Amino acid sequence: MVTKDPGETRVTLSDDDRCPCGSGDPYGRCCGPLHRGEAVAPTAERLMRSRFTAFVLHDARYLLATWHPTTRPPRLHLDADVRWQRLLILGRSGGGPFDADGTVEFEAIFRTPDGRGVQHENSRFVREDGRWFYVSGVVDD
């Protein structure tokens, strides 16, 4: 069940809820441990999926923590009117457990008060000291 915390735009999930990243697994066995700092993403795609779920949950803290320091903004404002609904992974290059970098191409489907939209992006990731970080993305209009 998805609920909003009072006074915040942050959304919460129970560990039994299906994870929004599209894996089909429950949140508590998928992105939940990454968000709680109990595990790190083993691949760039897993980090991409966990970041999508963080957007669903309006978890700016996790998004900033997984953003590479060289490109990370000082703060992140997440629009409460944007509801991220579905993630489709279209392709990947590198980004495996033994790679130092990789890319993930995806489409993220969202809804705003103005209607449905799709963000098509090719994101770049790097792995440093065993942790994957989002570096940048090229968004197609």
Q: What is the DSSP letter of 84?
A: E
All residues at 6 or more sequence positions from 98 whose CB lies less than 8 Å from its CB, including other chains: none
- Confidence category of residue 2, pLDDT binned at 50, 70, 90: very low
Task: Tell me the CATH class for 3-140.
Answer: alpha beta
Asked if residue 4 has pLDDT above 50, the reply is: no
Q: For residues 47 and 128, is the Cβ–Cβ distance under 8 A?
A: no
For the beta carbon of residue 106, count every other beta carbon within 10 angstroms: 21
Q: Tens digit of pLDDT for each residue in 11-66?
A: 889 999 999 999 999 999 999 999 999 999 999 999 999 999 999 999 999 999 99
Q: What is the pTM of this model?
A: 0.92
The predicted pLDDT at position 11 comes to: 80
Q: How many residues does the chain have?
A: 141
Per-domain residue ranges of the chain: 3-140
Q: Of 47, 37, 24, 57, whose CA–CA distance to 127 is shortest?
A: 47
